[in-house]
Amino acid sequence: MTLAIDVANATVHYGSLLALDKASIQLERGSVCGLVGMNGSGKSTLFKTIMGLVKPDTGSVLVNGTNPLQARKSGAIGYVPQNEAVDWDFPISVREVVMTGRYGHMGFTRRPRKADHEAVEQALARVELTEQASRQIGQLSGGQKKRAFVARCIAQEANIMLLDEPFAGVDKRSEATITKLLREVADQGGSVLISTHDLHALPNLADQAILLMRKVLMQGDPQLVLQPENLAMAFGLDPMNRGEDA
């Protein structure tokens, strides 16, 4: 069966800075994969490469068996950005944010039809944001904001979801709602790649984990990948113990 994501030996430079070094990852359909690495290890660059926003100098990237730009234009890739990448002052409601996920379904007019409105309301309900739907996006809490962007992916009917730090600054309820939804997406055949510093959450959430430090150091079962000696290799310390040591 075609892989959801197949990155082979991708190298990316920003000027003279090496951000990805012959990185290879494979993501199967129906699975959740956690992407773990320290700040600056290339996680966002890997996402951008998969979305076709950054073109690798060498290597190849296939998404649903096709090139990333085509996959993104077809609406197959849903993206939940890092907080820093969003203009929270933009005058747009939560419902309108979720509706942007329907653009690919609307054709040139971008005029929502009944099916689009229904998809948006269903997605809002699944992330428990129906009551917040008319509020300006920036007025939501951190966890609610993340849930709004997850709802956008659901409304989009993306079969690949990329989430950049979805648990950063998020309350427990939002984390649980998002985790449950991602599992459902995978159980229905979707594929989820999620970068996170929340290593404790990963074994319950992910089928696979990837350790990234410009290179892919390891990809495999989260229990195995998150062994202290492997984390020490990626972080230079064991981040599982960071809180206890502090």
Ligand X SMILES: Nc1ncnc2c1ncn2[C@@H]1O[C@H](COP(=O)(O)OP(=O)(O)OP(=O)(O)O)[C@@H](O)[C@H]1O
| Site residues, ligand X (CB under 6 A) | 14, 17, 19, 37, 39-45
Q: Which is nearer to ligand X, 88 or 103 (CB)?
A: 88
Task: For ligand X, give the closer residue by CB, 42 or 78.
Answer: 42
- The pair of structure tokens assigned to 138 is 């920036």
Q: What's the min distance (Å) between Cβ of 187 and ligand X?
A: 28
Residue located via tokens 């150091």: 217
Question: Of 41 and 159, which CB lies nearer to ligand X in the complex structure?
Answer: 41
CB of 86 to ligand X, least distance (A): 14
Which of 204, 158, 195 minimizes the C-alpha distance to 38? 195
- Least Cβ distance, residue 186 to ligand X (angstroms): 23
Exposed/middle/buried for 91, CB within 10 Å: 0-12, 13-18, 19+?
Answer: exposed
H or E element in which residue 195 lies: strand 191-195
Nearer to ligand X, 168 or 240 (CB): 168
CA 141 to chain centre: 19
Query: Minimal distance in Å, beta carbon 136 to ligand X?
Result: 26
Shorter beta-carbon distance to ligand X: residue 11 or 93: 11
| Cβ 191 to ligand X shortest distance, Å | 20
- List 77's β-bridge partners, or say none: 160
The CA R_g of the chain, rounded to the nearest whole Å, is 18
Of residues 50 and 158, the one with the C-beta less far from ligand X: 50
* Minimum gap (Å) between residue 81 Cβ and ligand X: 11
- The Cα–Cα gap between 8 and 224 comes to 22
Strand ranges in 17-142 using DSSP code E only, listed in sequence order: 17-27, 32-36, 58-63, 77-80
Distance CA 229, CA 238 (A): 8
How far, in Å, CA of 57 to CA of 88, rounded? Answer: 33
Q: Enter the tokens of residue 246.
A: 């502090």
Closer to ligand X by CB, 35 or 205: give it: 35
Q: How far is the CB of 45 from ligand X (least distance, A)?
A: 3
